[in-house]
Amino acid sequence: MRLAIIPLLAAMLTLGACVSPSSGKIYSRQEARTAWRVEPGRVTAIEDVTIEGRRSAVGRIGGGFIGYEVGRTVGAGSGRAIAGAVGAVAGAVAGEAAEERLTREKAYEITVKLDNGDTIAVVQAADQTFAVGERVEVLRNGRGGARVSRT
């Protein structure tokens, strides 16, 4: 039974990595049905960047559980309990770090010279490509969020 949980935890981490909240094309439920100010401009620079991954209870608890089970295979008697506790702590740390690495996103920092003369930079997931000199629209919401979109 315990071994059946390991593939389940791995699947949960993998599915969590598929969500792309920083995408230029995917909107959260809170962003739907809200007005976005559209500002035309031209791309002046594009840099490859990375959006950090998430650190949640999934990685911590999953890693802790696996570490506990592995630790309990060491020793006998009260030594098993101590090894399980040490394994749980080490597994929680390793699980959280693994989740962060698995959920990192490739992204672009897109610098845009707006037609009004301002220059801004927007970081978003690399789910669409842009070229320097390309005409784009910057969509801004009232909470400081922005995204770059093709015109």
Residue 15: per-residue pLDDT: 47
Per-residue pLDDT of the chain (151 residues; tens, 9 = 90+): 445 455 545 555 554 544 445 666 777 777 776 788 999 999 999 999 988 777 777 777 777 777 777 777 776 777 777 777 777 788 888 877 777 777 778 899 999 999 999 999 999 988 889 999 999 999 998 777 899 998 8
Residue 18: per-residue pLDDT: 46
Find, among 106, 112, 110, 127, the residue nearest to 24 by Cα. Answer: 127
Query: Alpha-carbon distance 85 to 40, whole Å?
Result: 57
**Beta-ladder partners of 119:** 113
Q: What is the pTM of this model?
A: 0.60
Query: In the chain, which residue ranges form alpha helices assigned H by DSSP?
Result: 2-18, 57-71, 78-102
Query: Alpha-carbon distance 126 to 130, whole Å?
Result: 9
Query: Alpha-carbon distance 72 to 82, whole Å?
Result: 8
Domain 20-52+105-151: which CATH class?
A: mainly beta
Residue 40: per-residue pLDDT: 97
Residue-wise burial string across 100-128, b where 16 or more C-beta atoms lie within 10 A, e elsewhere: eeebebebbebbbeeeeeeeeebbbbbee
Instruction: Give the amino acid at 124.
Output: Q
